Chain A
Amino acid sequence: MLVHLIAGTATRPGGAPAFRKLAPTMPKLPTAVPAVPAIHDVDAVAAGRPLLSRRQLLAAMGATVITGIGVLAGCKPSGSTNSGSTTGAPPGALIEPTTDAARAKRDAVITRAAENERSLIAAYKDAITAYPALAARLTPLRADHLRHLEALLPAAAASLSATSTPTSTPSPTPTLTPTLTPTLTSSAPPAIATPEPTVALNALAEKEHAAAAARVNEMAASTGSLARVLASIGGCEAAHETLLRAPA
């Protein structure tokens, strides 16, 4: 729905935009945005379908920097123009670093973020295996992280899905189940024992909290579209933490 709200204003000629656009000019979507398969399900990745390269994806995102500016920006008196609302980052200027050192630094940032996404995906998988009742709640969050990994490192996302299929038999999840039982049985009366799924949810929330903070730090070492994507991923992870801590 928000796709229509934000992007639809620029892409539906003649259609009534969901947000009435009041600034005088709306930049068009770039024609160079490459088509990409919709990848909201894990199957697309698991099938090994070729995905957009990181460079293409980041370029696609960076190229449409300002699509939404002016959306809900305000009901100006007619005749008043907003010269600020159509300017954005020069597409391409921020996409690829020019020196080898900058490129190496950028790759290190991406590798670090992707590694964290991979470990989050594994943590969700372990939690779902240990507590199938949480699957409905956790699967959409895990899917978000797969999207993050794809955005950062498409090859890693594809290989992860490929290797995870054979090993998807319940692997031992030592961190989740055993940690709690001893302390609960020894110290707490059973009547007020915390249900284990809650503990698993809190553990995931902690991981999301740390991940959101890490994305901000990685972003600080980045600029342009990479910084934008890292900040957005951090926003998603902060939201995940809130959702995981909310009562079911």
Chain B
Amino acid sequence: MSGSKGTASDSSDSLTAALVAVVEAENAAVYGYSVAGARLSSSAQRLVARGDYDVHRAQVQATMSWLSDHARQSDTAASAAPPAAVYALPSPVTDAASALALLAALEENTAARYADVVSLATGSLQRAAALALQAAAVREAKWRHGSVPFPGLTGRLPGSNS
């Protein structure tokens, strides 16, 4: 999916890969919301999920433009894969509880991909990724009914098992 013309530096290639990953994570989130949204028990939650679904669709477009901007600036040829028809889910979504768990996991996953971009980018791209991470953390806390100390780093930080 991504290649380079050999002129970009290693860190630029890493950023390209991180941007490709964030687009793919947003595409996976769009799919996940469409699966989980229908299983939520209350209409209020389904309404919120519908709004978040739209947010992720918009983020697919936003992150694709981050990727193309970066590719142009670094003279790198890179593009993300088109969204897949089906994504593997971590566990079957059969009821409201498993739907909530999936939504929280989707947000943690997108937060982690934004965190990767934060660690590699600078300037306005880094800031935009940090704000996207915050938005994902807010949604994650909403579905989880609680916070995690290091959204986007869960599993990476020693001792963080909440």
Determine whether B101 belongs to the interface, using a CB cutoff of 8 Å to chain A. yes
Which listed residue (A36, A147, A148, A238) contacts B137, Cβ 8 A? A238
Chain B residues with CB under 8 Å of A86's CB are 17
Determine whether B131 belongs to the interface, using a CB cutoff of 8 Å to chain A. yes
Determine whether A53 belongs to the interface, using a CB cutoff of 8 Å to chain B. no
Q: List the one stretch of A157-165, A171-179, A184-192, A215-223 in contact with chain B.
A: A215-223
Are A72 and B109 within 8 A (Cβ)?
Answer: yes
Report the Cα distance A36→B153, complex, angstroms. Answer: 16
Counting chain A CB atoms within 10 Å of each CB, the highest count among B108, B118, B129 belongs to B118
Q: How many A-B pairs fall under 8 Å by CB?
A: 239
Determine whether B6 belongs to the interface, using a CB cutoff of 8 Å to chain A. no
Report the Cα distance A7→B147, complex, angstroms. Answer: 19
Counting chain A CB atoms within 10 Å of each CB, the highest count among B18, B78, B91 belongs to B18
CB distance from A220 to the nearest CB of B (A): 6
Are B116 and A69 within 8 A (Cβ)?
Answer: yes
Q: From A82, which residue of chain B is reached at the shortest CB distance? A: B1
Are A87 and B118 within 8 A (Cβ)?
Answer: no
Chain B residues with CB under 8 Å of A1's CB are 101
Q: Which of A1-59 contact B (CB under 8 A)?
A: 1-8, 18-20, 22, 33-40, 52, 57
Chain A residues with CB under 8 Å of B84's CB are 74-76
Contact with A along B46-89 (1 / 0, CB 8 A): 00000000000000000000000000000000100101111111
Q: How many residues of B contact A (CB 8 A)?
A: 76
Q: Which of B136-162 contact A (CB under 8 A)?
A: 136-138, 140-142, 146-162
A69-B116, A72-B87, A239-B147 are known contacts. Are A84 and B17 too (CB-CB below 8 A)?
yes
Chain B residues with CB under 8 Å of A80's CB are 81
Are A84 and B1 within 8 A (Cβ)?
Answer: yes
Contact with B along A49-92 (1 / 0, CB 8 A): 00010000100111011111111111110001011111111100
Report the Cα distance A239→B154, complex, angstroms. Answer: 15
Are A232 and B88 within 8 A (Cβ)?
Answer: no
Are B105 and A2 within 8 A (Cβ)?
Answer: yes
Determine whether A134 belongs to the interface, using a CB cutoff of 8 Å to chain B. no
Chain A residues with CB under 8 Å of B10's CB are 90
Determine whether B134 belongs to the interface, using a CB cutoff of 8 Å to chain A. yes
Q: From A239, which residue of chain B is reached at the shortest CB distance? A: B141
Are A2 and B147 within 8 A (Cβ)?
Answer: no
Report the Cα distance A5→B155, complex, angstroms. Answer: 8
Determine whether A229 belongs to the interface, using a CB cutoff of 8 Å to chain B. yes
Are A60 and B158 within 8 A (Cβ)?
Answer: yes
Contact with A along B94-111 (1 / 0, CB 8 A): 000000010011101101
Determine whether B126 belongs to the interface, using a CB cutoff of 8 Å to chain A. yes
Are B137 and A88 within 8 A (Cβ)?
Answer: no
Are B111 and A235 within 8 A (Cβ)?
Answer: yes
Which of B's residues lie within 8 Å of A, judged by CB? 1-3, 10-11, 13-14, 16-18, 20-21, 24-25, 27-28, 32, 78, 81, 83-91, 101, 104-106, 108-109, 111-116, 118-120, 122-123, 126-127, 129-131, 133-138, 140-142, 146-162
The 5 A-B pairs at the shortest CB distance, nearest first, are namely A235-B137, A7-B155, A239-B141, A20-B88, A6-B155
- Interface pairs (11), CB distance under 8 Å: A3-B154, A38-B161, A60-B158, A62-B119, A69-B113, A74-B28, A224-B119, A231-B129, A235-B133, A239-B147, A243-B141
Which of A's residues lie within 8 Å of B, judged by CB? 1-8, 18-20, 22, 33-40, 52, 57, 60-62, 64-76, 80, 82-90, 94, 140-141, 143-144, 147-148, 151, 212, 215-216, 219-220, 223-225, 227-229, 231-236, 238-243
